[in-house]
Amino acid sequence: MNISSLDYSSLRSLLIAKEISCQEVTRFYLDKIEQNRQLNAFISVFADKALERAREIDYKLAQGTAGSLAGLVLGIKDLLVMQNARTTCGSKILENFIPPFQATVLNKLQAEDAIFIGKTNLDEFGMGSSNENSYYKPVKNPHDTTRVPGGSSGGSAAAVAGSLCTAALGTDTGGSIRQPASFCGVVGLKPTYGRVSRFGMVAYASSLDQIGPLAKSVADAALLLRFMAGFDELDSTSASVPVADYSVMNGSVKGLRVGIPKEYFISGLEPDVNSAIENTIQLLKDSGAEICEVSLPHTEYAIATYYIIATAEASANLARFDGVRYGYRDEHASNLEEMYINSRTNGFGEEVKRRIMLGTYVLSSGYYDAYYRKAQKVRTLIKKDFEEAFKTVHCILTPTSPTTAFRLNEKVADPLTMYLSDVFTVSLNLAGLPGISLPCGKDKQGLPIGVQLIGKAFDEQMILRFAGFIEKNNPILNNRQVSV
Ligand code: GLN
């Protein structure tokens, strides 16, 4: 049986019918991980633990007591803390950090019998768009191993695309779930800010961060969200808003209005990406959706605003890694100050240090008003643009990224070009809105192209409905998975 081609929804029917066991499924993925070491998608793999869990869940399945995610084999971005398992955040500074507690989302998914197979590679602390900023070496794109998988959840996206697990968790501060999903040809969902508890996610920029699923199908992303979402008293920013059964997706888009923001069709958009998006718009139009042009006039300031706010928050959040409380410590320093300096200088990578410096600068006295306060004001304007647009449309459709997966090393020397990779994804985080990326075509080289759907706050159901429809009706989408 070719497990590679199955999403969880199909796998589950086989598990229930006892045509396959959780142990077989887990072994299949463990073998795949072994065969695809060169992708570097995982930082840690829990072979024995995962097989032991699979055995327990097979027993539960036989008893009829298994949870709703029984046998769903999950990769976990190594930015989420897992009890008694090394959590590196892709950094040398946390190379040997073993957390004494566990993220709320992991507890929730474990309670439904998901199996954790390992921790996936990422850009250090989530900072990057290509997964080249990992201390544990870059991840490769399974569609073309000379190319990046996107970032920062590059390991999660590559693991799902390469069928090294059924689905994976990512985090998204400015696009880190959606952009790698787009580059790797999988589905990636960033929930509304507050929808999913951030407890146990190592903070990058706390007002922007969210955890979400990467999956082989829209149905799987919806199912995972259902069990991840909800208020958590351990995260004061988590919202007490009812969680729907997202897996129930109404099939039709007839009569629904889709907004196309004119500011997103910029000159840097690759022609193949543009035509895949045009085809998707046409599909929706032919299916009875109403296509309306909308304007998000402050889009051009989104990247600048994001990189001021995100770095400012990061500079504060990363202050805790000082070689004293936990993490890497330089043992050769002759005094305390030198110890702090050396630990941080040697423990953090170049991009993280660049961000800490930028963030410290924009918060410093004399520059606070000119940069940070101004960025906060523009953030409000960006949010208002969306509120205005959503007065007339049910969802907004854009490309996820202006390009398909670029080559390894192509952009490392030029951080600004790298930052532009996020031009279509960061606005949502600034506005706190939900967004999903799903495959909508391929470019001439056969690389996946993603379309992004943006919803109103807490209206994940609407974007899932559109995504489900596109997935089902787009003729180019059959055989989305790659076999590596
Ligand atoms: N690429 C963006 C950054 O480097 C987004 C990262 C993310 O969403 N974690 O900040």
Question: pLDDT per residue over 40-90, tens digit each?
Answer: 999 999 999 999 999 999 999 999 999 999 999 999 999 999 999 999 999
Predicted pLDDT at 325: 85
Q: Which domain holds residue 245?
A: 8-255+405-477
Give me the half-sphere count of Cα atoms (radius 13 Å) on the Cβ side of residue 104. Answer: 19
Q: Which residue in the block uniquely carries the two structure tokens 């507050």?
A: 194
Nearest to residue 126, comparing CAs of 94, 161, 78? 78
The Cα–Cα gap between 309 and 287 comes to 40
Which atom of ligand 1 has the smallest separation from the CA of 172? 8
Asked if residue 133 belongs to a domain, the reply is yes
Known catalytic residue at 247: no
Number of domains in the chain: 1
CA-nearest residue, atom 10 of ligand 1: 127
Q: In the beta sheet, which residues pair with residue 452?
A: 398, 437
Asked if residue 363 belongs to a domain, the reply is no
Predicted pLDDT at 416: 85
Helix, strand, or coil here: 48?
helix
Confidence check: pLDDT of 480 > 80: no
From the CA atom positions of the chain, what is the Rg in Å? Answer: 21
pLDDT band at 419 (very low <50, low <70, confident <90, very high): confident
Nearest to residue 178, comparing CAs of 168, 188, 169? 188
Q: What is the mean pLDDT of residues 340-365?
A: 97
Nearest to residue 9, comparing CAs of 166, 162, 184, 169? 166
Asked if residue 61 belongs to a domain, the reply is yes
Strands 448-454 vs 435-442: parallel, antiparallel or unpaired: antiparallel
Q: What pTM, to 2 d.p., does this model score?
A: 0.97
Ligand 1 pocket, residue 342 CB under 6 Å? no
| Region of poorest pLDDT, from 138-147, 258-267, 303-312, 352-361 | 258-267
Using alpha carbons only, what angle is made at residue 364 by residues 362 and 367, rounded to the nearest 5 degrees? 60
Q: What is the mean pLDDT of the chain?
A: 95
Known catalytic residue at 483: no
Catalytic residue among 21, 176, 238, 437: 176
* Furthest CA-CA distance within the chain: 72
The Cα–Cα gap between 171 and 152 comes to 8
Asked if residue 317 belongs to a domain, the reply is no
Ligand 1 pocket, residue 306 CB under 6 Å? no
Predicted pLDDT at 482: 47
The Cα–Cα gap between 91 and 307 comes to 20
Which atom of ligand 1 has the smallest separation from the CA of 175? 8
pLDDT band at 478 (very low <50, low <70, confident <90, very high): low
Q: What is the mean pLDDT of residues 313-329?
A: 93
Ligand 1 pocket, residue 359 CB under 6 Å? no
For residue 14, report the distance from its CA to the centre of ligand 1, in Å.
37
The CATH number of whichever domain residue 131 belongs to comes to 3.90.1300.10
Asked if residue 275 belongs to a domain, the reply is no
For residue 38, report the distance from its CA to the centre of ligand 1, in Å.
24
Secondary structure (DSSP) of 250-319: ----TT-EEEEEGGGS-TTS-HHHHHHHHHHHHHHHHTTPEEEEE--GGGGGHHHHHHHHHHHHHHHHGG
Catalytic residue among 32, 77, 190, 216: 77
Known catalytic residue at 152: yes
For residue 128, report the distance from its CA to the centre of ligand 1, in Å.
5
16 exposure class (CB count in 10 Å sphere: 0-12, 13-18, 19+): middle
